[in-house]
Amino acid sequence: MPPPSTAVVWRSVGLTLRVVTVISLLVSLIIISTNTATLSSNFSRIEIRFQDVKAYRYVLATIVIGLVYSLLQTAFTIYHVTTGNRIAGDALYIFDFYGDKLISYLLATGTGAGFGVTVDLKDANSGTNTGIDKFFNKANAASSILLLAFIFTAISSVLSSLALPKKA
């Protein structure tokens, strides 16, 4: 049995990157969207949700946009790997190139916003309540997984950059 061609190997690598990106984004979405904490004092209980912090809403928005794009690209890549043909021919290479760049930058800004607000708010509330620490730790975990999704998308972006001069 002859070894697979270089094109098949690169398509498989691209598909693997897309699938891992989708999985990372899904995990990050689940973590950030279920993040809540209850703060208790002598007189009342306050529930904090991720929606209460605007930067976490931005993180969620970047995750959702990245997930939609990654799912679309995963479907295109599966079609390309299985049939050997590309939807819309060579024009899709340009879409891959610009889309991967845009989404990777978007995921990077979402990661930065998540880490930044977590550090600032955690410092402001240090030592006050363990419930709020768990809240910030979960947000940090979601941002960390979003960082992984950014890395995979950035690698995918490099691959689409390499394919562009050959096809466009």
8 Å CB contact between 103 and 65? yes
Tell me the one-letter amino acid at 60. L
**pTM exceeds 0.85 for this model:** yes
Query: Is beta strand 45-49 parallel, antiparallel or unpaired with respect to 36-40?
Result: antiparallel
User: Containing domain of residue 29, as a range?
Assistant: 6-167
In a domain, residue 1? The reply is no
Give Cβ neighbours of residue 8 (< 8 Å, ≥ 6 apart). 81
In a domain, residue 39? The reply is yes
Structural domains in the chain (count): 1
CA-wise closest residue to 76 among 9, 18, 162: 18
CATH code for the domain of 125? 1.20.140
pLDDT in single tens digits along all 168 residues of the chain = 666 677 777 888 888 999 999 999 999 999 999 998 887 777 888 888 889 989 999 999 999 999 999 999 999 888 888 887 777 667 788 888 899 999 999 999 999 999 999 988 888 776 666 678 888 999 999 999 999 999 999 999 998 888 777 654
CA-wise closest residue to 107 among 154, 55, 53, 140: 154
